[in-house]
Structure 1
Amino acid sequence: MEPIIHTVFEPKTSTWQYIVADPSTKAAVIIDPVLDFDPSCNVIATETPGKLLDLIKENGYTVDRLLETHIHADHLTAAKYLQARLTKYEKKPQIAIGKRIGEIQKLFAKRYGLAEEEYEGAFDKLFDDDETFQVGKLEAKAVHLPGHTPDHMGFLIGGNIFCGDSIFNSDVGSARCDFPGGNARDLFRTASKLLSLPSTFKIYTGHDYPPNMPRSAPQAVSTVAEQIEHNKHLKRGTSEDEFVSWRTERDAALAEPRLIHQALQVNIRAGSLPRDGLLHMPVRVEGW
């Protein structure tokens, strides 16, 4: 049995969010939800997660888990907000992420001067590599997909894998590897793992950045066969050394994500806001 999959694009951060549901029981999970944030005035809003709640209500789903592929550096997660809203109508859904999250939390807590109690126990469930779980009557699997970040997980449900920021659509290619713990060789091996799945399996990506908009709309999914033939960075015949050389050179020229400091501080808390309402912003001083 295949799941019902709702794809919801958030255009300001070019992020794909997913609701994945068992058609027989209406049990569902939400993957990588986005909280609206305007850095020009430091205002957080909930229009985007509200659209997810509307879809849940319209379809009569019960959300068992809110799944995070990794600690995002380009948007704020809406996991805590959605958990609070959904708990009003049904049982409390777990916020779940990979088991390596603790080291990531400690790293960025130190960077931003956050106390341990700000993030300790923020996530309800930590997945082991290849751990299986249920979405209603559907079996799902948490798959370790390092490279973009060391904690990165994907979620295999039916003939579909939700790969987060691992590989992107064929005309975009692959994710950056220059965040702490990121590694281009790990990402190549992750891509090889994804592209070794059956050719008809569908790969749902975490973002879409259509180059020069050759397509009419952002694209959420492609098949393994399409990626093997057409991925601009990872198609058949690309060697590991070729990929690593190109990816490393490309990453060295990239600017940091626009919301990186706000996103990391909120996301290591699983979407909880700071108790004092303050986000710490590092300053680089030159020529003092």
Structure 2
Amino acid sequence: MSAHCYPVDVATKPDVTAFFDEPTNTISYVVKDPASNACAVVDSVMDIDYAAGRISFASADRIIEHIRANGLELEWLIETHVHADHLSAAPYIQEKLGGKIGIGENITVVQDTFGKVFNEGTEFQRDGSQFDRLFKDGDTYTVGKMSCFAMHTPGHTPACMTHVMGDAVFVGDTLFMPDGGTARADFPGGDAGELYRSIRKVLTLPDSFRLFMCHDYGPNGREIRWETTVAEERQHNIHARDGITEEEFVKMRTERDATLDMPKLIIPSIQVNMRAGRLPPKDDQGKTFLKVPVNEL
């Protein structure tokens, strides 16, 4: 995609409301078209007490209450990727408010990979059919009257997409705040070189575009933040600012990833999120189980 030709109105500035989930350090968003009451939800969270095996929806209910209280109409539930650190609440919100669930078309790669890891049977479809829309690189869509488009930004996972809605850019785990750097690239299907190229692709957007993070961990004890700009990332990102080469980035990322533990919720998250946020099917006794593969991740 040309660095100077975007299928959005760069003057459109959607209203963005953030919802921070402290247990998973995830930020979900309600994105409102400034010219109508239409909105989208990006990267919602379903609550899980993993030790107790209990699912709840307090985080999702906050989003639902905001949408209802402001008289908004939900059109899209966007997943930037198959998250490994939180469970998606998209089906729960969709049941309450409607809207279409969308993710990148390479969800099929993720489903095939983890369908094997979790020994899912043939009843588990690996064609992305659990989602309403599979986005390809450059695909456009609308939220109300607002033009939006999807950019394929693999590296963290094969299915990662960055969504551009007016001047607001939802980067998933492709980037963190400038002092947080970038996300890991060592999950199955991840690639540090691809991640570097995806970041450079995002940073061809206009300097003034607002970037919204999916996670923030408050490096060095600072307060949690989730909004920055293309210009700030290009100038100050500790891992990927202008002037850092792909070779330097790959070396840093590979060495850093080797020191990281797996996310605490990776096992339930992937099983649920590769199903678009739905739990695995009940067994013959009507019970739902999540599997724990041993020595597979």
TM-score in same-fold range (> 0.5) = yes
Normalised-by-shorter TM-score class: over 0.9
Partner residue in 1 for 2:117:
111
The answer to whether 1:274 aligns with 2:284 is: no
2:15 to 4, 26, 40: 4
Distance 1:28 1:115 in 2: 37
The answer to whether 1:70 aligns with 2:81 is: yes
Q: Which deviates the most, 101-110 or 64-73?
A: 101-110
Q: Tell me the amino acid that sits aligned with residue 196 of structure 1.
A: T
Q: Tell me the amino acid that sits aligned with residue 233 of structure 1.
A: H
1:185 to 181, 188, 193: 193
Ranges in structure 2 where 5+ consecutive residues have no aligned partner:
1-11, 283-287
Partner residue in 2 for 1:89:
none
**Structure 1 contact 31–68 (Cα < 8 Å) conserved:** yes
2:219 to 211, 233, 240: 211
Write the mapping of 1:215-226 to structure 2, written as runs, cut at 5 A: 217-226=223-232
Partner residue in 1 for 2:144:
136
Ranges in structure 1 where 5+ consecutive residues have no aligned partner:
87-91
Write the mapping of 1:148-167 to structure 2, written as runs, cut at 5 A: 148-167=156-175
Partner residue in 1 for 2:6:
none
Deviation at 1:212, TM superposition (A): 2.4
**Structure 2 contact 155–191 (Cα < 8 Å) conserved:** yes
Secondary structure of 1:164's aligned partner: coil
Deviation at 1:203, TM superposition (A): 0.9
Deviation at 1:56, TM superposition (A): 0.4
Distance 1:284 1:230 in 2: 38
Alignment coverage as a number of residue pairs: 278
Percent identical pairs in the alignment equals 42
The answer to whether 1:13 aligns with 2:19 is: no
Partner residue in 2 for 1:256:
262
Task: State the superposition RMSD in angstroms.
Answer: 1.3
Deviation at 1:284, TM superposition (A): 3.8
**Structure 2 contact 41–76 (Cα < 8 Å) conserved:** yes
1:62-113 deviation line (CA, Å, top 9, x unaligned): 1111000110110110011111121xxxxx3111111111121121111112
Secondary structure of 1:172's aligned partner: coil
1:237-288 deviation line (CA, Å, top 9, x unaligned): 2111111001001101111110111001001111111222000012249xxx
The answer to whether 1:233 aligns with 2:239 is: yes
Cα gap change, 1:274 to 1:243, in 2 (>3 Å): same
Distance 2:71 2:270 in 1: 33
**Structure 2 contact 35–146 (Cα < 8 Å) conserved:** no
Secondary structure of 1:85's aligned partner: helix
